[in-house]
């Protein structure tokens, strides 16, 4: 989506908010907040010492809810990508 929007390579970052912005995706503040929140799931790889506090809040209920949110957002992104792809192929 970044390439389609800018004609350039996507930035080397794990910031979902930055990537969404570069891709020209328009989301509500709520969705943008969720993208920022999802970065917590990447904390362990970057900051192994912080994983204990994150794991403490990762109950099954929490993880199931976050997974459902992520799946819904993923489906939304796929739809947007399909629209972009169709627009690029249109004469």
pLDDT category of residue 47 using cuts at 50, 70 and 90: low
Best CA proximity match to 38, nearest among 63, 65, 16 = 16
What are the start-end ranges of the E strands in 7-83?
A: none
Beta carbons of 28 and 46 less than 8 angstroms apart:
no
Instruction: Supply the Cα-derived Rg of the chain in whole angstroms.
Output: 16
**Which of 7-16, 36-45, 67-76: highest mean pLDDT?**
67-76
CA–CA distance, 17 with 32 (Å, rounded to integer): 6
The DSSP call for residue 82 is: H
Return the domain boundaries, the chain.
2-89
Best CA proximity match to 66, nearest among 91, 42, 34, 44 = 34
For position 40, what pLDDT does the model report? 77
């Amino acid at each position: 989506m970044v390439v389609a929007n800018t004609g350039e390579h996507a930035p080397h970052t794990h910031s979902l908010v930055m990537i969404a912005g570069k891709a020209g995706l328009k989301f509500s503040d709520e969705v943008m907040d969720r993208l920022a929140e999802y970065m917590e799931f990447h904390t362990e790889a970057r900051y192994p010492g912080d994983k204990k506090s994150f794991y403490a809040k990762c109950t099954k209920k929490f993880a199931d809810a976050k997974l459902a949110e992520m799946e819904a957002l993923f489906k939304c992104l796929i739809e947007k990508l399909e629209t972009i792809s169709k627009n690029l192929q249109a004469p």
